[in-house]
Every structure is written in C-alpha cells, then in structure tokens.
Amino acid sequence: MAAIGKTKLDSGWLAARSTEVSLSGIQLTTTHPPSIGTSPWMEAVVPGTVLATLVKNKVVPDPFYGLENESIIDIADSGREYYTFWFFTTFRCKLSGTQHLDLNFRAINYSADVYLNGHKTVLPKGMFRRHSLDVTDVVHPDGENLLAVLVYPPDNPGSIPPEGGQGGDHEIGKDVATQYVEGWDWICPIRDRNTGIWDEVSISVTGPVKIIDPHLVSTFFDNYKRVYLHTTTELENKSTQSAECSLNIQVTTELKGNFCLVEHVQTQHLSIPAGSRVHYTFPELFFYKPNLWWPNGMGKQSLYKVSITVDVKGYGESDLWGQLFGFRKIQSHIDTVTGGRLFKVNGQPIFIRGGNWILSDGLLRLSKKRYKTDIKFHADMNFNMIRCWGGGLAERPDFYHYCDIYGLLVWQEFWITGDVDGRGIPVSNPDGPLDHDLFLLCARDTVKLLRNHPSLALWVGGNEQVPPDDINTALKNDLRLHPHFEKSVNESGKSTEDLSPVLRDPSQYLDGTRVYIQGSMWDGFANGKGDFTDGPYEIQNPEDFFKDDYYKYGFNPEVGSVGMPVSATIRATMPPEGWQIPLFKKVSEYYEEVPNPIWEYHKYIPYSKPGKVHDQILLYGSQPKDLDDFCLKAQLVNYIQYRALLEGWTSRMWTKYTGVLIWKTQNPWTGLRGQFYDHLLDQTAGFYGCRCAAEPIHVQLNLDTYLIEVVNTTLEELSDVAVEASVWDLEGTCPYYKVHEKVSVPPKRTVPIAEMKYPKSKNPKPVYFLLLKLYHKSDYRIISRNFYWLHLSGGDYKLLEPYRKKTVPLKFTSAVFIKGNTYEMHMRVQNTSKKPDAKTLTYQNNFTTKQGDGDFDTASVDCVQDGAGTKNEVSWLQKISRRFTKETDDLKVAEINGANIGVAFFLHFSVHGVKKNHKEGEDTRILPVHYSDNYFSLVPGEAMPIKISFEVPPGVTPRVTLAGWNYHGVHTVH
C-alpha cells in the first residue's frame, strides 16, 4: 500500500523535439519507451521550459551570454512545431485496491497531450491553471508507469519587429500567458515563449475521499485580542459508496528545540454521497492573543501550522493537507492627506518601500533554493513589499512561502499590461486575451492556489491597464470583500467590529480578505485615474528626490533607474568585445553615453540624461580608464542614487507619500538596468544603499535642505537618543563635530533634527565625508549609522580620484563557523590609521538589537575595543560562538598596512573559490553571499562588525577578499 500524500516527479525526465520522434504517445508509453543517450532524447529540465532543456544540453548556446540569443531561432521563424516537445519519465506507485492516484500538473505552457501507459488525456489551454487527472484505473499498481507529455507552445507566439518594442508585435497578449516573452525594454525575446512543463509535477495518493483547496481566514475582535480561524474545504468522494468521514483540523505552533505546541484540535463528522463533491465549513476556532504575522521591519513573522486530515470509516486516513498560516489583517484605503493608497497591517499603517518583480529566471528555471535567496535579498534590503508585475508570472507557492517567512507583502497582478492590451506600435488588441472565460478560469484557480499565504496583500487587474470590462466586472465580483474586511467603519457608521456573527463565513468566499484594484495606476496609485504618472526610469540628480515638485502623487508604483553590475559579472556574461565601456560623447555641456552593441542588447541604461542630469560617473574624474574603473564608479552612483530615492520618499512619509515601489529589484536575465543584484546573484552597491535607507529606524541627511532627519517607521516612540554628526576631510581630520542630544521621535514619523551647517562654515572643503549616527544616550549603542560622501553645491567628486592613492591601515579579526557546506564568518574590521577621538564613544559601533533582522542581527556581534588588545577580540568571538554550531572557531587576524591617515572608503568584500584545475579567466566568485553590510566606509579609529554567510560547492576552498576605492587589487583577508 502506498503512503497517503504527494510525491514530486522532478527528476529523470527526458525530452525530444516532436518532429524528430516517429513514435506515437501510445507507443512511447507501452512498447517503445525512450532511454537516455538514445537520439533524439536528452535530459530534460522539469520543472522548466524547452529552451532551458536545450541550453542544459548545449544544443543551443546560453541566450543570456553576449549576443548568443541572436543565434537561436525564434518561434516566429521556426514555426510552433519546432518548439513542440515530448517530455517523458517513469514512476512507481504500489496502490491498494481502495486507493486512488491523481497525476498533477501545477502549470503547463500552453497545452498538452498526456499519455500514461498508453492512455491519452488532453490538457486544455492556459499557462496559469492546475491540472489534476485521476489515473487510478490506468496506473500499474505493481510495476513501472510510463508517462509522456506532448507540450504545445502558446497559440499566438507572435513575431519580433526589427525595432523590438514592448511585447514585440503584441500577439502573445491574445493568450493567457506571460507577456514579457516577446521582449521588453529590459529583456530580449525568449525564443520558445516559455513553452514547457514549467511548474511542479506530482502524483498524490488518497483513499476514497480527497481534500481540495481548503481556505483559511482569520477574523479579529477586541483590538486583536480575540481571533477566530475560519476554514472551508472542498471534499470529493471518489468511491461508489457513501463515505462516513471524520474531518480533523489541528493548529500547532513551533517552539524552540523542534517541539510543537498544539493550539487546537477539532474533529467533525459528516457523510459524503458516492461520487460527489461537497464544501464543508468547520466551526470557527477561537484564539486569545495569538502571535501575529507582521511585515518585515514591523515585527515577527509568526506562523502556525494548520493541518487537515480526513478519515473514512472502514478505511482509515484518506487524505491530508497542511499549510503555514499567519494571523494578520491587511486593509488599505485612499489616504485623504496624500491621495495615495495607505496600507494597514493589524491596524497599524505601514509605509511601503519595495520593488517591482518580473520573475526569478527568464527560462523559468525556478527552484526553492533560488527563491529563498531572492526573497531573503529583498528582506535584507529592508523592503516590505514586492509587486508581481502583470507581464510576468502569477508567482509560485515557493515564492510566497519565503515571502511569508521573511515578511514581504505581495502585490499580485493578473496577466494584463497596457503595452500588449491596447497600446503600442502596432496598436495592440484592447480586449485582452481572446478567451475571456479561460482568463477568468486561470484567475480563479490562481486565487485558490495562493490565498492562504499571509504575505499576499492585494490583487490588481493589470499593469498600466484595466482588464476588459467583462473580466474586470467578474474579478470585482469574485474578489469582493467580506464585510469584516471592508474599511473599519461601514456606510451606516457602524463599526464592522460589531458584526458578530458576520454575514456568511468568510472562508466561503473565493478570497474576501484582500482588496482588488483594477489597475496599477488606479485607486490610490500614481494619480489614481490611470494616466501615465508612474516613473521616471532614468538617472536623477540625488537631491531632486527630496524636492516638493519631484513627484506629485502619494504612491508611485514604478520609479526606475540604473543598475550596472560589478565588472566580474560583465566578464562572466559577455565575450571580450562586451568589456568595452561606453564612449562619452559631449552634447552641449552634457555628456551622452554610447554603449557597445552587447551592452545595448542587454538594455544598458546610461548614467547621464543630457539636458537634465550630468553624467554621474564623470563626477568622479576623467573618463574611466577601463571596465573595472567604470563599474566601480557605477557602484558609487548606484549607492547614492537608490539611497537618495528612498530617503527622499521617507522624508515625506505620510505628509506627501504613502509608499514607493522601485522599478525593479532584479533582472530575470543578464540585463544592465534597474537591479540591486544581477542574474548571477551578486549584489550591486545599490542593494546596500537601499538596505541603509529603508531600515525601520534611520538617520539621514535631506540632500535638498541639509536638515538631519530621523525616520521612525516602528510602532514605538524613540526617546533618550542622540544624533552624532561628524565631517571628515580627505586629510583624515574632523573639521566638524556636533551632537544633538534632545531627540525624541514619535512612532511612524519623520522628524527634522537640525541643519548640518558644515557647507556654510568658513572654508569648507570641496569634497568631504559625513558620518551620522543615531544612538542610545544611556549606553552608546548604535541604532542607525549612515555615511555620505558629499561635495559643495555645484561641485563634483573629482578630488576623490587622487584620494585613491591613499591607503589607510586596516585590521581584520575573524572567526569562521562551518556546518556542512555552509560557512558563516564573523569579522571585525577596524581602521587603525589613528586612535579614536576621545570625545566620542560611538566609534565602537555597538549596534542595538534590530527587530526581525533575522540572520543578520548585528547585536550578536559585540565590538569591544579599548585600543588594540587581542583579549577583547577573543571575548567578542566567545560571545558569538555560544550562538552557533561550529566545527572550527580559530581566531584569525589579518592586517593591511598603510602609511596614510584617513577614511577607508567604499570597502567591499567578495568570496572566491580556490580549486584544482582552475582555468584562466574563470569566474571564481562563490555566489550567492549574504553580507550584513558591504560597500561601507570607516573613519579613522572606527570599527565595524560584518557577518558573511555562504554555501561552498564540493571540492572548493573559500577565501574572502577585500577591495575598495583606495585599495587596489585584491586583498585576501581570510
């Protein structure tokens, strides 16, 4: 007898082009099964796409490398048959006589014929729908089962005009599929249009009764003290007899040490007629003061495990289902002060700082491991929302799982985008997909797939467009709110808190808990009327983000800019001809950047806007001399650009703005714009500019007024704190030092503290550094640290070019903790060019505990330094070692000697692998790496704790290296 439950079929797949296979599906799954190594069959990527399989087998080159995509035939030129592929695998499943087996496809693009042991089933069209086939009668209970799937591309793959454009010729919009695949201004065309079995395939064993799509909803009363869990599930009796069932629900919470606390257990009895489906609603479960789920930066992401099982009389356990669930309430309304949409979580307003997201990988090589890195990166940047753009995916449960874990609210759009649905050249079809019923079927199925995730915050009809009237009306009706989740006071003035019991159980709705907005620029986003008031999408003068006239509306769903990666990524993703930096062509008093053809193909966006923004890279001196110089200066600009963007928005928190979403956080291919980490998973400096600017409590400089401001997005008042402002010049002296001690900041407020007056002082230096620290007066523990490099009004940073010749001494004290192939390094970096100034104690950079900081809680790294003693360093490491399982904790000390006194500027670590048989020019980076901070600077005497964690491939020895503005070459520090 097979165990009840699901088994993934994610390995052992073969694939072949249909025109190269002479056998029928019946033959493939009966008498002539294919085998690996037999032409034309190759190892397949499932889940994945046809193109991902061809790339894996080197049948075609990597379309993301250089201009190789141009050498791959496009479906418009080859015809749909060229990308129509067979996928084949086998599985075993020993069923008893009363068990049932379902074959499940969580998503296929675009339609398919399924053959199992010679029996054919047609899977209907639609990229965003699940398929579940009862194969009990055709499965071999005691032997091998042969499964072949013939996958057809989208019906309307379209063609790519010579000039490219948004969504090619827009034909893909006629199908219910991803729309980016014909190319956009940030990605090249995907040649197979993502044809394939692109999501999970599984078999599931049940008894007579199957559990289908339970819906979990929590309602709150008495200021969140009294909470009810509502649950409705569909049950299918697959047998020919009436089933007497015991339906069980259990809610547990995880405690320390792998123990679970059972919060609730409930059993209900019901009878299900033979061959029928029924919906059953459990009696509500009561919780008193449960741990709530909060977004990143507002509190913990408390999650409970909800388990449902069904036992059938005379059979036993028939099916089981489980889901992590967070108790939380999300509301939003149009704010009367700003006109922007204001979100509340558990009754508390949350200032939205997040980013736009397309998908993890353009070839749909999706994995839990990559999703975990993607979402953790967003949490590391202190973001609290991700917008899933309408031209991309309805994201997968694995994506949402990690958003639940790390506290990222999700704005999920359906598959409408204006460029493909009513705009463009030629003008696209304004009526959306050809099959409106199919669109709605996929939308409803997507809601059922994702609705139990606490991170899911709202549904949106489309990007810069409203769905066709009939679809929009249906979605509004399907996704109408249950009365409990409407705004806190209804039209009669009666508080919805008094609605008990409420009208119909909320778990009986399709969703009922999340607002539906018809489009990304409607109803509190952009100008709220659908006019094109999102953007801009290019480089800005950093001070402009702080000005009254920069953006008129309360919530900008898309504002974009540059995103050049580091030089190692360019070398890893382009041939040498792609390593040529842009030509700088003078246009009047401005410079225009002219990129090489490979950069242009990879959608490079320049660091200048002639007529508006002087080239921000040329601010650092003469034209960059080579790729390394260009990319390093680009990182300086990335950091300033994105920190200023977020600080400008946060400066007007609640007075002008309710939120902002940056276009975009990453690229699903090797693109050269709008990203905080590249497709290889190496972060740009913009990542750390965002991480700094979006911290929950933050000290910042208003670049327009030069007022020092403190931002408090938390729920607690900030009191008994002080702000230290110190200016450091290029000679390593501190000409300006000021402490502002009478500081208190109410919750959810931005408060100006005082003007930073150094630029108005006598003989200010043309280029200088500013270090701001917000700290507790009682123990000098740092709450927020922010480092700026600045020039006087109308100036530039050209004096930083000769500063590169200055090398200041650094000392590194580190320990490594190893568990399996995971390394965690704790490092203390100190600028030893001179002893700290006696008038400040904040140089130790003892950071206060940061709520929800997860893996990177810098409070776990106590920096105790009273000069230069190894004893204190050992004590510091002993405190760390008590927190981690370790196999080695050797204390290591490394030093970089230097004769100069000054700021160690723009230091950045990287991790490399040392292995035998190293090839010249090979990219040695180990990626991804999580850093508690990077691209940081240290003033004389200052020390900084840094935590670094990464996984090491087998057979590789890691080494951590350091580079910086005034550190040339690569310095190995561990």
Point out the residues that are catalytic.
464, 558
Handedness of CA 606, 610, 613, 619 (dihedral sign): positive
Strand partners, 333: 342
Sequence letter at residue 597:
P
CA–CA separation, 73 and 190 (whole Å): 10
Beginning with the edge strand found earlier in the chain, give each strand of the sheet holding 348-350 in spatial order: 330-334, 341-345, 348-350
CA–CA separation, 456 and 404 (whole Å): 8
* Residue 472: C-alpha distances to residues 415, 521, 529, 795 (Å): 12, 15, 16, 52
Cβ burial, residue 78 (10 Å; 0-12/13-18/19+): middle
Q: How far is CA 635 from the centre of its chain?
A: 21
- Of 326, 310, 317, which is closest to residue 278 (Cα–Cα)? 310
- Whether omega before 501 lies within 30 degrees of 0, making that bond cis, reads yes
Cβ burial, residue 820 (10 Å; 0-12/13-18/19+): exposed
CA–CA separation, 308 and 156 (whole Å): 42
Output DSSP code: residue 315. T
- Residue 957: both structure tokens together: 């020895």
* Residue 867: C-alpha distances to residues 624, 828, 843, 870, 872 (Å): 40, 14, 11, 10, 9
Strand partners, 70: none
- Residue 926: both structure tokens together: 């180990």
909 near 892, Cβ under 8 Å? no
Task: Say which residues have a Cβ less than 8 Å from residue 875's Cβ, sequence separation at least 6.
Answer: 864
- Residue 148: both structure tokens together: 């072949």
SS3 255: coil
Q: Tally Cβ neighbours within 10 Å of residue 468.
A: 21
Query: What is the per-residue DSSP string for 904-948?
Result: EEEEEEEEEEE-TTPPTT---B---EEES--SEEE-TT-EEEEEE
SS3 958: strand
Three-state SS string across 141-188, please?
CCCEEEEEEEEECCCCCCCCCCCCCCCCCCHHHHCCCCCHHHCECCEC
* Residue 888: C-alpha distances to residues 814, 818, 825, 881 (Å): 12, 6, 11, 10
SS3 966: coil
CA–CA separation, 915 and 554 (whole Å): 53
Output DSSP code: residue 868. S
- Residue 644: both structure tokens together: 């200023």
Q: Tally Cβ neighbours within 10 Å of residue 20.
A: 11
Beginning with the edge strand found earlier in the chain, give each strand of the sheet holding 822-831 in spatial order: 892-896, 810-819, 822-831, 943-951, 929-931
491 backbone φψ class: left, alpha, beta (φ>0; ψ -120 to 50): alpha
852 near 924, Cβ under 8 Å? no
Output DSSP code: residue 359. -
Residue with the two structure tokens 């504002």 = 559
In the chain, % helix, strand, coil (3-state, to 5) comes to 20, 35, 50
SS3 639: helix
208 near 187, Cβ under 8 Å? no
Residue with the two structure tokens 């956080």 = 665
